[in-house]
Amino acid sequence: MSFLTTKHTLVRRSVRAFCERELQPIAKELDIEARFPWDVVEKMGKLGYFGIQVPAALSGAAMDSVSYCIVIEEISRACAGLGLCVTVHNSVGVYPLVAFGTEEQKQKWVPPLAKGERIGAFCLTEPNVGSDASAVESTAIRDGDHYIVNANKVLVTNGAVADTCLMFVKTDPAAGHRGLSVIVAERGMQGFIIGDLEDLSGNRANAVSSIRLTDCRIPVSHLLGKEGMGMKIGLAALDTGRIGIAAQALGIAQAAMEEGIRYAQQRRQFGVPISRHQAVQMMIADMATKVDAARLLVYRAAAQRDSGGPFSKESAMAKLFASEIASEVADMAVQIHGGYGYTKGYPVERYYRDARITRIYEGTAEIHRIVIARSVLEEYK
Amino acid sequence: MPLNIIICIKAVVLEAPDGKVIRTSETCALNPFDRPAIEMAIRLRDEAGGTVTAVSMGPESGSLALYEALAMGVDHVVLVSDPSLAGSDTFATSTVLSAAIRKLAPFDLLLFGTRTSDSDTGQVGPQTSVLLDIPLVTGVTAVTRKKANFIVERKIDEFIEEYEVALPGALTIHASALQPRDASLMGLETAYGQEQFTLMTLKDLDILAEQVGDNGSPTKIINMQRIQKKRKCEMIQGSVEEQAEELVRRLKEAGHIG
């Protein structure tokens, strides 16, 4: 694959070996118990997984986007919930601080995040805010050198374990999306309240929860960029973030395909392994083709980002396609397993649940189709 | 006293080939038995100061192993590569490595894994040490410093042997000695960013073409074929107790259990 160098081969091998040893054996139990594996996260932090693209001067690994995708893909192959944690932390949690933070802000927040000593979160979604970010109802009202922030954020990825949270709030509620700003809230601040864990269908190792700020006084120095830059920061973060979610979906699809193939080669019906039956071979061919196509789109989007050019369309295509084939491939893997695929005795049941959300978060499939269509129509104008 | 440590490593082939071995970055990896030795080298250096230099002989496609060593924390890597080296057996390999190591001298400690996962001879460490005329302890599980020397342990049957080794000396490190570290992403990125390979060819070594490759190899692989495992499944009939008794009887008969 032309996007890949020998460095990428080594990155994959290294991350895969770690995840197969540390994460894969406990993935089932993390899912059942909805447990966040702090011990594994600590080891990942030391290996640079929480600062994959952060500059070395800020304690990161300073890697390219293709390497980034490989890391997320491999973590997600072992445990989707932790793949989600790592990609959201890196892309929408840390990247906006690196891209839009002042030197002082970067020095303060980025190194502990990059080392995994602190976990990042991106707090945009509210009870009445999903795809329409301009509808944010949370507010930050200036009071001297502080903002008084009142926010109700829901379905926050990493929410219950997050230390450093990018809060999307209205600093000028009358100005629509032009009044949207990003303020960094930290766990432990007075008025910073973490809600109960969501009882998720999949990705259960991730501590998704609500976060509420009640009359929380946050210094003005915590404003990221300028007032009114919220939409710009959010869109830049999500452009990057969706490549990571595409890589997560790809990792889930890869895991589902591998289990489907393995089972097909073991399970015997009519005197032969079911992989000898053409009906099963059709599914294996489709799974392999879809996974390969998704991988090409994901790495292309990453390579496009590395080249410095615009990559919104490419990342939207990668996210849309990878998330949809993840569900399709997981579905086929369940089908190959027959009744056993519908039990918790086999991991495909978990992949099936893990895959579903990738079509919803970091921009729904429908929103991505709009992004792609607009871009394509522009090209053919 | 800072230590100058040299460690010999190999890029092994990942899967048994059909016929001729083709080495590419996809088919090769760092020998897993070298990892604990690299870990030992890094820890000794971190304690005492000094440098660790990894040396490998093989085609450039095997450089992945050297990058991995760099990513783990080795300071320098040397690749000894020359078309004339193709076909070298363990003796010719030891001849080449000892010649390269002489060029890298002075050194304090020379480390090896105990064996490789592909050819599995365990000969290169001992042969290279003999050619360099330095003391050697094999299968070492622990190393501690005693003034200018090292006290090393090796497990053998029910005993732990202890040796005092004068420097420069050579050790092969047993795989159970240490849990090797994972390469960090920072390490991998830095390894590929520095391009700090030293390449040695035959003309850099004071040896002759007759001493290496096919010509310098007293042993030759005449043929290589996959082992065809003939397995058959037999169902033992009867009640569970009868099946268990019959299974035990057969295993005894076949000499698998006492």
Residues of B in contact with A72 (CB under 8 A): none
Our CA-based measurement puts residue A31 at a distance from the nearest CA of chain B, in whole angstroms, of 26
Residues of B in contact with A48 (CB under 8 A): 184-186
Residues of A in contact with B189 (CB under 8 A): 7, 56, 61-63, 67
- pLDDT tens string B13-46: 887 777 667 777 788 899 999 999 999 999 999 9
Q: Where are the domains of chain A?
A: 6-118, 121-228, 231-379
* CA pair distance A209, A214, nearest whole angstrom: 16
Q: Between B26, B68, B184, which is nearest A48 by CB?
A: B184
Check pLDDT > 80 for residue B103: yes
* CA pair distance A49, A61, nearest whole angstrom: 8
**B44 within domain boundaries:** yes
Q: Partners of B164 in the beta sheet? A: B151
Can you list the alpha helix ranges (DSSP code H) found in chain A?
6-22, 24-33, 38-46, 65-78, 80-88, 95-100, 103-114, 230-266, 278-307, 312-337, 348-356, 365-379
Residues with Cβ within 8 Å of residue B21, at least 6 apart in sequence: B13
Contact across the interface for A17 and B188, Cβ inside 8 Å: no
- State which residue of chain A sits closest to B66, comparing Cα positions: A10
Element (H, E) at B243: helix B240-253
Residues of A in contact with B31 (CB under 8 A): none
Torsion of CA B91, B96, B102, B103, to 10 degrees: 180
**B228 within domain boundaries:** no
Question: How many other C-beta atoms are found inside a 10 Å radius of the C-beta of residue A46?
Answer: 15
Mutate to test the interface with B, among A1, A4, A5, A7 (most CBs of B within 10 A): A7
**B36 within domain boundaries:** yes
Among the listed residues A303, A312, A328, A329, the one whose alpha carbon sits nearest the alpha carbon of residue A371: A312
Residues of A in contact with B182 (CB under 8 A): 14, 17-18, 47
* CA pair distance B229, B16, nearest whole angstrom: 14
Question: By residue range, what is the domain housing residue B118?
Answer: 3-211
Question: How many other C-beta atoms are found inside a 10 Å radius of the C-beta of residue A367?
Answer: 18
Q: Between B26, B188, B192, which is nearest A14 by CB?
A: B188
Per-residue model confidence (pLDDT) at position B19: 66
Q: What is the CATH number of domain A231-379?
A: 1.20.140.10
Q: Between A9, A46, A52, which is nearest B64 by CB?
A: A9
Contact across the interface for B189 and A63, Cβ inside 8 Å: yes
Place of tokens 């230590």: B3
Residues of B in contact with A49 (CB under 8 A): 185
| Fold held by A121-228 | Butyryl-CoA Dehydrogenase, subunit A; domain 2 (2.40.110)
- State which residue of chain B sits closest to A44, comparing Cα positions: B184
Q: Partners of A141 in the beta sheet? A: A148
Mutate to test the interface with A, among B181, B185, B192 (most CBs of A within 10 A): B185
Contact across the interface for B186 and A48, Cβ inside 8 Å: yes
Contact by Cβ (8 Å): B153, B161: yes
pLDDT bracket for residue B231 (50, 70, 90): confident
Our CA-based measurement puts residue A48 at a distance from the nearest CA of chain B, in whole angstroms, of 5
* CA pair distance B73, B65, nearest whole angstrom: 13
Per-residue model confidence (pLDDT) at position A1: 58
Contact across the interface for B189 and A67, Cβ inside 8 Å: yes
Among the listed residues A211, A227, A313, A49, the one whose alpha carbon sits nearest the alpha carbon of residue B184: A49
**B187 within domain boundaries:** yes
Our CA-based measurement puts residue A268 at a distance from the nearest CA of chain B, in whole angstroms, of 14
Residues of A in contact with B185 (CB under 8 A): 11, 47-49, 52, 61, 63, 67, 71
Per-residue model confidence (pLDDT) at position B228: 83
Per-residue model confidence (pLDDT) at position B195: 62
Per-residue model confidence (pLDDT) at position B233: 84
Sort strands A139-143 and A146-156 into parallel, antiparallel or unpaired.
antiparallel
Q: Partners of A121 in the beta sheet? A: A165
* Residues of A known to be catalytic: 362
Is A183 in CB contact (< 8 Å) with chain B?
Answer: no
Contact across the interface for B188 and A10, Cβ inside 8 Å: yes
Check pLDDT > 70 for residue B258: yes
**Strand (E) positions, B36-175?**
50-57, 76-80, 109-113, 136-146, 149-156, 159-165, 169-173
Contact across the interface for B67 and A7, Cβ inside 8 Å: yes
Contact across the interface for B29 and A13, Cβ inside 8 Å: yes
Q: Partners of B171 in the beta sheet? A: B111, B137
Our CA-based measurement puts residue A59 at a distance from the nearest CA of chain B, in whole angstroms, of 9
Contact by Cβ (8 Å): A189, A199: no
* CA pair distance A225, A105, nearest whole angstrom: 10
pLDDT tens for chain A, residues 1 to 381: 578 998 999 999 999 999 999 999 999 999 999 999 999 999 999 999 999 999 999 999 999 999 999 999 999 999 999 999 999 999 999 999 999 999 999 999 999 999 999 999 999 999 999 999 899 999 999 999 999 999 999 999 999 999 999 999 999 999 989 999 999 999 999 999 999 999 999 999 999 999 999 999 999 999 999 999 999 999 999 999 999 999 999 999 999 999 999 999 999 999 999 999 999 999 999 999 999 999 999 999 999 999 999 999 999 999 999 999 999 999 999 999 999 999 999 999 999 999 999 999 999 999 999 999 999 999 999
- pLDDT tens string B154-182: 988 889 999 999 999 999 999 999 999 99
Q: What is the CATH number of domain A6-118?
A: 1.10.540.10
Tell me the average pLDDT of chain B: 91
- pLDDT tens string B199-227: 999 999 999 999 999 999 999 888 878 88
Check pLDDT > 90 for residue B232: no
* CA pair distance B33, B143, nearest whole angstrom: 17
**Contacts across the A-B interface (CB distance below 8 Å):** 54
Q: Between B25, B185, B186, which is nearest A9 by CB?
A: B25
Check pLDDT > 70 for residue B106: yes
CATH, residue B72: 3.40.50.620
Contact across the interface for B64 and A61, Cβ inside 8 Å: no
pLDDT bracket for residue B120 (50, 70, 90): confident
* CA pair distance A181, A169, nearest whole angstrom: 5
Contact across the interface for A18 and B188, Cβ inside 8 Å: no
Is A48 in CB contact (< 8 Å) with chain B?
Answer: yes
**B234 within domain boundaries:** no
**B220 within domain boundaries:** no
Kindly report the backbone phi and psi dihedral angles of residue B118, in degrees, each rounded to the nearest multiple of 5, phi listed first.
-100, -55
Check pLDDT > 90 for residue B123: yes
- pLDDT tens string B55-72: 999 998 778 889 999 999
Residues of A in contact with B71 (CB under 8 A): 10, 14
Contact across the interface for A62 and B29, Cβ inside 8 Å: no
Burial class (CB in 10 A: 0-12, 13-18, 19+), A97: buried
User: What single string gives the DSSP state of each residue in A39-63?
Assistant: HHHHHHHHTTTTSTTS-GGGT----
Is A61 in CB contact (< 8 Å) with chain B?
Answer: yes
Among the listed residues A130, A102, A110, A135, the one whose alpha carbon sits nearest the alpha carbon of residue A51: A110
Residues of B in contact with A63 (CB under 8 A): 185, 188-189
Domain count of chain B?
Answer: 1
* CA pair distance A130, A119, nearest whole angstrom: 23
Per-residue model confidence (pLDDT) at position A325: 98
